[in-house]
Amino acid sequence: MSLPAHVAIVMDGNGRWAKNKGLPRSAGHKAGIDALRATVRHSVRRGIKILTVYVFSSENWQRPDAEVGLLIELFMASLNDEMDELNSNNVRLKFIGDISAFPDKLQELVCSAARNTAGNGGLQLVIAINYGGRGEIVSACKKLFIELHAQGRNAADITEQALRSHLDLPDYPDLFIRTGGELRVSNFLLWQLAYTEMYFSDVYWPDFDTAEFERALASYVRRQRRFGRTSEQLVGTSTNALRGICRDGNGKV
Ligand code: IPE
Ligand code: IPE
Ligand code: MG
């Protein structure tokens, strides 16, 4: 199989990385930014089309206030610092999650970062902040309900495609990577991961480097994605055709 078009990453393990080194958790989060920069660069080199990264979950508000505050500050500082390189690498930024919960200055920064990179045609970098998969599905349901109600339509018009069109992220990742050794999804992209290939790494996020990224990609290309079919049915089917099946539910090969 060819390389994944869309990679989604739960960047986990910053705190434990720091603890192992006798450093404060903040040092782990700072080192995590370096790992993300390297991962974006490598995604650009490898021609990956979409990279979706989990930066802050809707459950991460439950961390101590000082850590939440630090994560917000680091996020804003690094977004500012990286804009020039992102632009020169032709990266387009998209943000998913409920940003209205953040301070105004963060919301303004996010909007201007998306606007300033909107014309870039290279890698799409999707940043999930205050994102939760359950919340995303509930808000998509609300939007679909309002739309159907306004058109005088009813529950029979609720389809997978209609609901999907109201999600923050309608694209389906081909490869999911979680670092940090935990074998869970933690409320990330619950709808979208239905047929995504999973790769779990024991490496803490700050240690996630090109070699580990390549191991994940190599694991992906060795797999056969069947989308419910048999191996025999898939002989001679291209990855793109398979992606079409994934996108359209039960479309024919
Ligand atoms: C991931 O690392 C970063 C965020 C969740 C913001 P953690 O901070 O969760 O690191 P561990 O899991 O405690 O090691
Ligand atoms: C998931 O990591 C969220 C992010 C990486 C942003 P967590 O560290 O919050 O996940 P749990 O709590 O271990 O499930
Ligand atoms: Mg964690």
How confident is the model over 32-50, as pLDDT tens digits? 999 999 999 999 999 999 9
Ligand 1 neighbourhood includes 56 CB (under 6 angstroms):
yes
Instruction: Supply the mean pLDDT for the chain.
Output: 95
Nearest CA owner, ligand 2 atom 8: 12
Picking from 79, 80, 129, 76, the residue whose alpha carbon sits closest to that of residue 106 is 76
Give the model's pLDDT for residue 248: 55
Residue 249 confidence (pLDDT) above 80: no
Side-by-side strand order, sheet with 175-178 = 92-96, 124-131, 50-57, 6-10, 175-178, 197-200
Ligand 2 neighbourhood includes 208 CB (under 6 angstroms):
no
Give the model's pLDDT for residue 241: 76
User: Which residues are the active-site residues?
Assistant: 12, 60
- Quick one: which ligand is closest to 207's CA? 1
Nearest CA owner, ligand 1 atom 6: 56
Instruction: For residue 235, name the pLDDT band (cuts at 50, 70, 90).
Output: confident
Ligand 2 neighbourhood includes 181 CB (under 6 angstroms):
no
d(CA 200, CA 180): 8
Residue 171: both structure tokens together: 């694209």
Instruction: For residue 251, name the pLDDT band (cuts at 50, 70, 90).
Output: very low
What is the mean predicted confidence (pLDDT) over 169-178? Answer: 98
Ligand 1 neighbourhood includes 16 CB (under 6 angstroms):
yes
- Percentage of the chain with pLDDT > 90? 92
Residues 6 or more apart in contact with residue 175 via CB below 8 angstroms: 4, 6, 7, 8, 196, 197, 199, 216, 217, 220
Give the model's pLDDT for residue 247: 60
- Percentage of the chain with pLDDT > 70? 95
Ligand 1 pocket test target in 14, 34, 63, 202 with most atoms within 8 Å of CB: 14
Question: Of all atoms in ligand 2, which is nearest to the CA of residue 182?
Answer: 13
Ligand 1 neighbourhood includes 206 CB (under 6 angstroms):
no
What is the mean predicted confidence (pLDDT) over 190-203? Answer: 98
What is the mean predicted confidence (pLDDT) over 109-121? Answer: 98
Measured from the Cβ of residue 48, the count of other Cβ atoms closer than 10 Å reads: 24
3-state secondary structure the chain: CCCCCEEEEECCCHHHHHHHCCCCHHHHHHHHHHHHHHHHHHHHHCCCCEEEEEEEECCHHHCCHHHHHHHHHHHHHHHHHHHHHHHHCCCEEEEECCHHHCCHHHHHHHHHHHHHCCCCCCCEEEEEEEECHHHHHHHHHHHHHHHHHHCCCCHHHCCHHHHHCCCCCCCCCCEEEECCCCCCCCCCCCCHHHHCEEEECCCCHHHCCHHHHHHHHHHHHCCCCCCCCCCHHHCCCCHHHHHHHHHCCCCCC
Task: Give the least confident one: 39-53, 58-72, 123-137, 222-236.
Answer: 222-236
